[in-house]
Structure 1
């Protein structure tokens, strides 16, 4: 049989309200049209679906069987429409974000705070990844997008948009405080133990290039997995590290972390949003993307 969706829709409302006139009102239609569509449906199914009386209509046994199946389908459709409507107003929704520690500290946390205050019912799943891991998560459909610093290898299936910059500074613990008394060169830092992120991360690649541009070797004596591990390792006097300026809070004497003035400027590092090409974002993800792409002043006053 090739019976139209509209015929079953009219039948569903007539059975739900036990009235052709109420069904017509719910469908913004007329009672004669509802009656005509029900008669046509009965003819197509070759059975009566309703008992008619002056008090209204009620389902026949055949109508009960049809309604038991049709009701499930239409209730699911109505639930889906309500869910989409809720998502459109961002009264619900889910976000999956893969972020590096640098990007999180650099700009993502500030925007997420704004987003959360405006759309508190959207659930956020935030995972901490290195840049290669974050890109893989997006590529494999495990995240809506990745917010990371640029890696050396960008898959062709992804597109990127710059959303901000971070500025790294060198830091040391109290045992190396002599480095904080004057401006020092990068070549002098090579004489001290270096704390860096593991090979394969965007940070390792960045500092390898920076040191190489000054004809210096970059061989960290202590390697860590995430940027958040750098601070406690440096505070424990295991070496000299590099972190975003935004990670430093409080007086050095209290925190045990001392900034170092470097004679050679460290170039700012760009933060990018990566997403799959030709892959539509959910309404919740699209709104966060818009907020991340807004100019800094707009982000601040949003």
Structure 2
């Protein structure tokens, strides 16, 4: 039977794609790592790595094995830290799955504020689409998913809206005259349209908006994430929607322009999704408390401003 230690060595060798770095992480020698990998390859009856003067790369068989071994190792390491108590706030790790939109609209700022209070807590981030991020929580691969709406979860998962944002229609210099007008959703179909790929919550959101207004729009360019829409618009490849925080960060460059819409778009939320029944490390519990307190403080500040 192949030992877990062999798979542990394989995990780090595949993760770093370097036997020396894996050896340093495992507090052993490079020859010992090489010997373990050769033994594992012999036991499995296939090559796991291709060796060259430039280093090592995973073979197709190695990639397939790593897909399963990495998930198992991450679960093992997480459970080990919970049981042993090494995951305290002094050196804790919080596992997050998140999307590009959530990163730009919320998480970057939140992590900066959190680190002011807990500078030694580390984060393991998985950048995924919303459905995969929620699946990671459901399968116990991460503590929280930070994702934009629309999002639906089923018990035992819970979600809480922690921030909100709006979407802004932007264009580059070629379409700058549109910035002085108010156009309708139907008129968007007259121009090359940029929108993130199908399977994302953002694409679902806009598909539902256009459908509700009986507007048929074909997407000309489908970038993987919303932050790529800005350079595409700057290059005059079309018009597209981006979160307001992304627009505000780029508007002073005077290379993108905001287009007003005649139909108001509903605002969207950033949500934290978690499994209440899942055992959390001290760092993860503190992070959840911080998220809730931060959201409550922001909500109180917004209410105060509206009362002025």
Tell me the TM-score normalized by structure 1. Answer: 0.66
Q: Is the 8 A contact 2:136 2:142 kept in 1?
A: yes
CA distance, structure 2, for counterparts of residue 158 and residue 185 of structure 1: 38
Structure 1 gap ranges (5+): 1-79
Q: Which shows bigger deviation, 121-130 or 202-211?
A: 121-130
Q: Quote how far apart the aligned CAs of 1:202 are.
A: 0.3
> CA, structure 1 residues 281+218, in 2 after alignment: closer, same or farther (shift >3 Å)?
farther
Q: Which shows bigger deviation, 289-298 or 232-241?
A: 289-298
> CA, structure 1 residues 183+145, in 2 after alignment: closer, same or farther (shift >3 Å)?
same
Largest Rg, 1 or 2: 1
**1:1-302 equivalent positions in 2, closer than 5 A:** 84=85, 87=88, 90-151=89-150, 154-249=153-248, 252=251, 254-294=253-293, 296=295, 298=297
User: What is the number of equivalent residue pairs in this alignment?
Assistant: 220
> CA, structure 1 residues 224+139, in 2 after alignment: closer, same or farther (shift >3 Å)?
same
- Please give the root-mean-square deviation of Cα atoms over the aligned residues, in Å: 2.6
Structure 2 gap ranges (5+): 1-80, 301-308
Residues 83-120 of structure 1 deviation map (CA, whole Å, 9 limit, x = unaligned):
73871xx1110011111111112222211111112111
CA distance, structure 2, for counterparts of residue 86 and residue 185 of structure 1: 53
1:73 aligned residue: none
Tell me the TM-score normalized by structure 2. Answer: 0.65
> Aligned to 2:263, what secondary structure does the other structure show?
coil
> CA, structure 1 residues 179+118, in 2 after alignment: closer, same or farther (shift >3 Å)?
same
Q: Quote how far apart the aligned CAs of 1:146 are.
A: 0.3
Residues 126-150 of structure 1 deviation map (CA, whole Å, 9 limit, x = unaligned):
2221111211222222211100023
CA distance, structure 2, for counterparts of residue 139 and residue 92 of structure 1: 25
Q: Is the 8 A contact 2:169 2:259 kept in 1?
A: yes
> CA, structure 1 residues 121+300, in 2 after alignment: closer, same or farther (shift >3 Å)?
farther
Q: Quote how far apart the aligned CAs of 1:232 are.
A: 1.2
Q: Is the 8 A contact 2:150 2:268 kept in 1?
A: no
CA distance, structure 1, for counterparts of residue 249 and residue 154 of structure 2: 40
Runs of 4 or more consecutive aligned structure 1 residues displaced over 6 Å after TM superposition? 80-83
Q: Is the 8 A contact 2:93 2:124 kept in 1?
A: yes
> CA, structure 1 residues 162+297, in 2 after alignment: closer, same or farther (shift >3 Å)?
closer
CA distance, structure 2, for counterparts of residue 253 and residue 82 of structure 1: 50
Q: Which shows bigger deviation, 132-141 or 191-200?
A: 132-141
Q: Is the 8 A contact 2:168 2:247 kept in 1?
A: no
> Aligned to 1:261, what secondary structure does the other structure show?
strand
Q: Quote how far apart the aligned CAs of 1:188 are.
A: 1.3
